[in-house]
Amino acid sequence: MNKMPRLPNLVQLTALLGLLLIGADPAVAVELEFDARLTGFDYPFPVQTFAFKSQDQDLEMAYMILENGPDRPWITLLHGKNFNGAYWEQTARHLHDQGFNVLMPDQIGFGKSTKPRHYQFSFAALANNTLGLMDKLGIEQTVVVGHSMGGMLATRFALMHPERTTQLLLVNPIGLENYLEYVQYRDIGFFLELSLGQTAEKIRAYQQKNYYDGAWNDRYEALTEPLVGWVQGPDHERVAWNAALTYDMLFTQSVITEMGDLQVPTALILGTRDRTGPGRNWKRPGVTRELGRYDRLGAEVMEILPDGKLFELDGLGHLPQIENFGRFVAVLDEALEKTR
């Protein structure tokens, strides 16, 4: 007897209409379903796990490494909120070819790492978890590279562990403004509703508008697959809860207020078209500051950093390493010149 084909549910049908509008492959998208640990989603390099205890819980941190030998310098690549270590693939291959050892962890609550039911997320806690992984691997010092939310984490790591950080490199980081100075505080329940309301169509529409200035291609599409698979998967509620908890860090754990205390050389690589400004839709009454003006933020931060260098990429947005790798890697190599 032939089995009836599985029909998409109402949420998937709604997403299907949006996918047709932006040119994505609806047949593939509707079938995407991943559990909390992204089982079945392939990473570009072998994935290992670091088992440890934190906040009285047994947790596992997924990570990838590319090695060139114990005498070669290390670079640690920290992912953004809507991503995992896998999107660093092209950057990691380039750095490995340049002779670096490369570490790409998935933070707790992200990617293939544990999604705990209860966890007090903080950049300090995630930095401490990352330090534990480094200790396990015998990494005494590393260049720390952070993109987007990973930039806030990288900054916190460098503030906490300057002796382990040879250089800090921030790629379109959020946190170059103290958001709570300009926006109203929102309870975690607010972010839970936003996360539970995500659909494949909303994810793609947001990234197409805010990351790529309306452009779209297969590579951009591929980067949405983990998020799309989660909202259509069996652990959607658990993943949404972790996402809501991590939103709170962005607003309550500012790093810009301490960037003047950094003790390590710091480079900013900024796509100046970026307008990422968390909380811009619920600013405090009377606030006129335009959040997320990366064409202005670089100069502002340079006045604060004790040892900083700015690289601006005109016309590129929030993911310069994805949007135009050639332009990105040219300034990346320049920023790392003294580290080789």
State the pLDDT at residue 31: 82
State the pLDDT at residue 23: 52
CA triple 63-327-209, angle to 5 deg = 75
Domains, the chain, in order of start with CATH, read: 26-278+288-339 (3.40.50.1820)
Cα separation, 61 vs 76, in Å, equals 14
Model confidence pLDDT, tens digit, residues 284-313: 999 999 999 999 999 999 999 999 999 999
Q: Which residues contact 338 (CB under 8 A, 6 or more apart)?
A: 167, 265
Biggest CA-to-CA distance, the chain: 72
Q: What is the mean pLDDT of the chain?
A: 92
Please give the model's pTM, rounded to 2 decimal places: 0.91
Q: Encoding tokens for residue 148?
A: 């987007």
Helix (H/G/I), strand (E/B), else coil: 86: helix
State the pLDDT at residue 340: 60
Greater model confidence, 221 or 21: 221
Please name the residue ranges forming H helices in 98-235.
123-137, 149-160, 188-196, 200-210, 218-231
Model confidence pLDDT, tens digit, residues 306-340: 999 999 999 999 999 999 999 999 999 999 986 66
Please report which confidence band the pLDDT of residue 12 belongs to, taking 50, 70 and 90 as the band edges.
very low
Cα separation, 218 vs 198, in Å, equals 21
State the pLDDT at residue 246: 96
Q: What residues form DSSP beta bridges with 269?
A: 171, 311
Please report which confidence band the pLDDT of residue 10 belongs to, taking 50, 70 and 90 as the band edges.
very low
Q: Which residues contact 39 (CB under 8 A, 6 or more apart)?
A: none
Cα separation, 204 vs 155, in Å, equals 29
11: enclosing H helix or E strand: helix 10-22
Average pLDDT estimate for 241-259? 97
State the pLDDT at residue 160: 98
Residue 52 has pLDDT above 60, yes or no: yes
Q: Which of 19-28, 31-40, 146-155, 234-243 has the lowest mean pLDDT?
A: 19-28
